[in-house]
Each structure stands twice: as C-alpha cells, then as structure tokens.
Amino acid sequence: MSENILAILPELWTATQQTLLMLAIGLGAALVLGGPLGVLLFLLGAGQSLDHRPAYLVLSWVVNTVRSFPFIILLVALVPFTRVIAGTSIGPLAAAVPLSVAAIPYFARLVEQSIREVPRGVIEAAHAMGASELQIVWRVLVREARSGLVLALTVLAVSFLSYSAVAGVVGGGGIGDLAIRYGYYRFQTDVMLLTVALLVVLVQIIQFGGNAIAHRLDKR
C-alpha cells in the first residue's frame, strides 16, 4: 500500500460516511415524497380512478422539467434554496438538498412505471369488492409492484451514488471531493484509483442487495 493511500485513510473513512449520508437523505426524500408522487401520477393517468388529463399533464411536465436538468447545473441553481434549508452551501448536508430535489421526480417516474405493470384485472377486482382508494393503493398497487419498486429504488441508489460524487466537485464532501482534491489536483493516481474502486464496490453491494430483496418479494 502506497504512502499516499496510507495518509488519506482517515479522510477516506470520513468521505465514505459523508457519501452514505448524502445518499441516505436523498433516498429518504425520494421514498417519502417521490413514492406518493409516482402513485398520484399513475392514478391521474388515462383510465385510472382519478383520471384527470390536465392535472396529469401539469404534474408530468413538472416532473420531466426537473429531471431534464443536468445535476451539476441543478446543484448550482439551487444554492440559494440550499442555504435556506441547510444554512450553508457546502458540505454533505448542503449537497443532500439538490440530491433530494433531483431524486424525488426521478423516483416518482420509476414508481409510476412499476405500478403500470400491475395487471388491470387485479385493480378492477379490488374495486368490485368495494375497496377504498387507499386500500387499493397500499394493498394492491404497492403490494403487487413491490419487487419492481425495490428494483426502482436500487436503480435510483446506484445513479445517485454517482451524483453524490459529482457534488464533491463543488464542495459537497464525500468520495468525489476526495478524488478531486488528491487524485486530480495533486496528481495522486493511486488515490484516484482507490476512490473509483470504492465506488465500484458500493455499487456492487447496492445492486446485489436490491436484486436479492426484489427476488424474495417477487411472488410471480
């Protein structure tokens, strides 16, 4: 192990914790806000129980607009909002704000797509038995689509792990910040390779765990 890597090991541990913190906050916001938003998008769609084309088009336009922003631009554009929410524009908590804003519509669209895979006959049967809208959402839509929802969350986690690395470029902290400061500015190639390897390991763990959980939940 090179001297460069030995020297940055304490910082590497801190950077990993910062990355996981950013990822946890972003995924939490996606679950709490993006999940219900995705369900609402589905219910407002054509032929569904809350079918309302104007509302669907407006909500869909907002979701697509936020998703269309490159993350680095969104991160910079939200600096004033980030200062209001986090009290600062640097550090992992500050970076978690734009991460959350980006994650909510991203996950909402994934949720909508997953729920669309639920057989329409199952939904109609639940309506025929007098189930309420909330019961249909929780006991039919979410239950039947749970495997796909787990895979959607896995895709989100993997994508936003790379986004958290981008946040390090503008002082967000985490593994990306470490890679830039040591691997790029100081030309320490071994440190750069180590951070890349660590990100690869994290992606593999997330993907393997998500696949395993989705497989266990899939009752088809």
Q: What is the CATH number of the domain that holds 74?
A: 1.10.3720.10
pLDDT recorded at residue 2: 66
pLDDT recorded at residue 30: 94
Cα distance between residue 88 and residue 168, in whole Å: 15
User: What is the total count of domains within the chain?
Assistant: 1
- Is the CB of residue 177 less than 8 Å from the CB of residue 91? no
Q: Whole-number mean pLDDT of the chain?
A: 86
pLDDT recorded at residue 26: 92
Spatial CA neighbour of 196 closest among 22, 12, 23, 7: 12
Mean pLDDT by 10 residues, the chain (220 residues): 72 88 93 94 85 90 90 86 84 88 94 88 79 80 88 93 78 78 76 87 93 83
pLDDT recorded at residue 145: 87
**What global pTM score does this model have?**
0.89
* pLDDT tens-digit readout, 49-80: 788 899 999 999 999 999 888 888 888 888 88
Spatial CA neighbour of 42 closest among 129, 133, 115: 115
Query: Which residue range forms the structural domain that includes residue 167?
Result: 3-217
pLDDT recorded at residue 61: 95
pLDDT recorded at residue 110: 94
pLDDT recorded at residue 75: 86
* pLDDT tens-digit readout, 110-126: 999 999 888 887 887 87
pLDDT recorded at residue 149: 93
Cα distance between residue 176 and residue 163, in whole Å: 9
pLDDT recorded at residue 169: 66
- Tokens found for residue 126: 């639940």
Using alpha carbons, list the distances in angstroms from residue 151 to 19, 82, 139, 215.
Answer: 21, 29, 19, 9
> Helices in 30-130 by DSSP H: which ranges?
35-44, 53-68, 71-77, 79-86, 92-115, 120-128
